[in-house]
Amino acid sequence: MISLNMLSLSLILFSISAAVFLLRRNMFIMLMALELGLNSAGMAAAHFALTNSQTEPVIWALLFFAIAAAEAAIGLALLIMISRKFSTLNSDEIKELKG
C-alpha cells in the first residue's frame, strides 16, 4: 500500500514538474521543474526496488542523483551566463536561435 502511494506520489510530482516546465516562462523555475521530474523518476525507481525486492532500481535512483547534481551544476552555470548576456531569464524574450 505504501509502495503504491509512492508510485502515485511519483506520478503527481512528475505531473507537477511537467506542468511547471510547460507553463512557466522563467528558465530558473523550468530548471527546478526538471529537477523535480528527475526526482519523481527516482521515486518511481525506489518504488520498484521495494515492491520487487531488487537492487537494480536503487542503483538507478543513485544514478539519478548524480545526473541531477551534474545537471544542476551545468544548468545553473548556463543560466548565469544567459542572465548576464540578456539581463533576463524569460524564455519568450530569448529567441536568437531560429531557422
Partner 1 sequence: MTVFQSYPLYSIILAPLAGFVILFLFSSRLREKAAAAYLACLTSFVSFVFSIFAFLEIAGGKGGKILLQDLFTWFSILGFDIKFSLIMDNLSALMAVIVSGVSFLIHIYSLGYMGKDKDRTRFFSYLNLFVFFMLVLVLASNPLFMFVGWEGVGLCSYLLIGFWYENIENAAAGKKAFITNRIGDAFFIVGLLILASFAASKGGSLEFLWMKENIPSIAAGDTAVLSALSLAAVLMFLGATGKSAQFPLYVWLPDAMAGPTPVSALIHAATMVTAGIYMVSRMFFLYQLSPLAMEIILYTASFTSILAAIIACLQSDIKKILAYSTISQLGYMFLGAGSGIYQAAMFHLVTHAFFKALLFLAAGSVIHALGGVQDIFKMGGLRDKIKYTFLLTAAGWLAICGLPPFSGFYSKDFIIETVWMSGHKWVWAISVFTAALTAYYMTRMFKIAFFGKTGEAAAHAHESPVSMLWPMTALAFLSAFSGLFSANFFSFLSLESVHEHIPFMIAKAPLIAALLGLAAGFYLTREKISSYWENKLPLLRKIIAGKFYLDEIYEFMVLKPLDFFSQKIVFSLIDRKVIDSFMVEGPALFFNGFGNIARKAQNGDLSFYALVLVLTAALAAAYAIRAVL
In the complex, least distance from residue 6 CB atom to partner 1, rounded to whole angstroms: 19
CA 65 to chain centre: 10
Distance CA 25, CA 39 (A): 21
Find residue 90's DSSP bridge partners.
26
Q: b/e per residue, 36-58, with b = 16+ CB within 10 A?
A: bbbbbbbbbbbbbbeeeeeeebe
Considering only residues 53 to 92 of the shown chain, the ones binding partner 1 according to CB under 8 A are 91-92
Q: 1-40 mask for partner 1 (x: CB under 8 A)? A: -----------------x--xx--x-x--x----------
Minimum CB distance to partner 1, residue 46 (Å):
20
Binding-site ranges for partner 1 (CB under 8 A): 18, 21-22, 25, 27, 30, 91-92, 94-99
